[in-house]
Structure 1
Amino acid sequence: MKIHEYQAKQILAKYGVPVPRGSVAYSAKEATKIAEDLGTEVCVVKAQIHAGGRGKGGGVKVSKGMDAIRESAETILGMQLVTHQTGTNGQKVKQLLVEEGVEIQKELYCSVLVDRGRQCVVLLASTEGGMDIEEVAEKTPEKIL
């Protein structure tokens, strides 16, 4: 099953897990409207594709002010986003998640994935949140549960 980040956050919120306020945009105009409605000076504009590595590929931008939010949305929407998970052709960005900027105190990583070889579901967790879970696995595997 492939779901976008915004869909995963909707599920988490449904069960009481706090997530940043935000919404999906299909145009730069919608992105700025969402930012205005959020009433925050800083927003994170995120490409919604079925692949990791979006930040390193230029698909996630922290933007301050309406002009910067609009510019980020214009830059990301329609781009062919290439990451280590998309292959060389990348994936075309058709939608964005526009979220309020929040101060990060601690990042954790949690993933549920299907191990087809073992025919089971695997829960992967780490105290090293954010990007580069593959690098964490390679360099400090003891930080992965």
Structure 2
Amino acid sequence: MYSFYAGKQELFDGVFDEIVHRTVSEVPMDANHLPEYAARLHDANLAHPEVVRFLDWYRRERGAAAQRDTVTESMREKARAIATAQEHGVLTKKLGAEQVLALVLTIANMWVQQAEDVTTLVPAAMQRQTIKDAVARITAPSV
């Protein structure tokens, strides 16, 4: 391990960066179709709960220091794509691109952040549809 990483902290960071890279690659964001993106992100969370646990653990361990360059750049790219979609009238302009992104990510991840007894009240297919509907309503362009 020490041939590749100076210690546990660097290994922890390396795993985090790999998870971010894999998630961005496997669940790409299309700003023109945010409800579908949110649903796919939800699906990925269900398929890989260990990733969700690791990311939560990482944030708890690192606190404010958890903001890595890989995440920062990914969020900037997503916000730019949302801003472009807003300029083209595809998404609401009532909120800033960063606000839209924060809401979409929060909604997409909301079921994995709940206690298990809460999530069992709503079947997975209904969770997915709820996420799509909520994101569609929040991001719909003004008429």
Which TM-score band applies after superposition, normalised by the shorter structure? under 0.3
TM-score, reference length from structure 1 = 0.26
- Structure showing the higher helix proportion among its residues: 2
RCO higher in 1 or 2 (8 Å CA, sep ≥ 6)? 2
- Structure showing the higher strand proportion among its residues: 1
